[in-house]
Amino acid sequence: MKGIALACLGSILITVFFLVPPDSGWARIAPFVDSAGSVGEKYTASADTTEIEIVSKGVELSYSVSEIRAKAGEVLRIRYINESDMSHNIVLVREEADIRPVGIAALQAMATDWIPEKEMHRILAYSDLAYSGDTVVLSFNVPPPGTYPYICTYSAHWTQMQGRLISTE
């Protein structure tokens, strides 16, 4: 499913959903964006790899894992299973202050699977859009020590669907 924000009436956001099959050309491969902001096709593999699984279910706007702890510099491989009734993604941003601008810009980013290209300087890594029933994998090198929020940018889900990556030494 895809959605588009049509209007904002007072504090009510009206969203219209319509079906778009996954093979319709809307899906695109998400490149890895490293902590320096450069884009590449692959992550740097090393002996230090942490693999985790995150699941979304039903109509709840939440991830099964709201906090991830990983070592700076290691590869983090997230297997995201979308058992939800809606489409979702995982977008890792640089800091708390980036959540709102990325989330708002994503409302106008349907053509790029809800990844706002004009806000890429705020985004460290992102997954493909996972339609209901899909599993996607996101792999990247963990940024320097600190706390990094991750959100779903699909159709205003960012207001509720959030977690934190805590990078340690």
Q: What total number of domains does the chain contain?
A: 1
Cβ–Cβ < 8 Å for 138, 90: yes
Judge whether 17 lies within some domain. no
Judge whether 39 lies within some domain. no
Reported pTM: 0.73
Judge whether 12 lies within some domain. no
pLDDT of residue 16 exceeding 50:
no
Parent domain of 159: 48-168
Mean pLDDT, range 86-109, rounded to an integer: 98
Judge whether 86 lies within some domain. yes
Q: In terms of pLDDT, which residue wins out, 16 or 88? A: 88
Judge whether 11 lies within some domain. no
Give the pair of three-digit tokens for residue 60: 């709840």
Give the pair of three-digit tokens for residue 12: 């009510």
Judge whether 9 lies within some domain. no
Interval 120-147: pLDDT, tens:
999 999 999 999 999 999 999 999 999 9
Per-residue pLDDT at 48: 80
Residue 79 maps to which CATH number? Answer: 2.60.40.420
Judge whether 21 lies within some domain. no
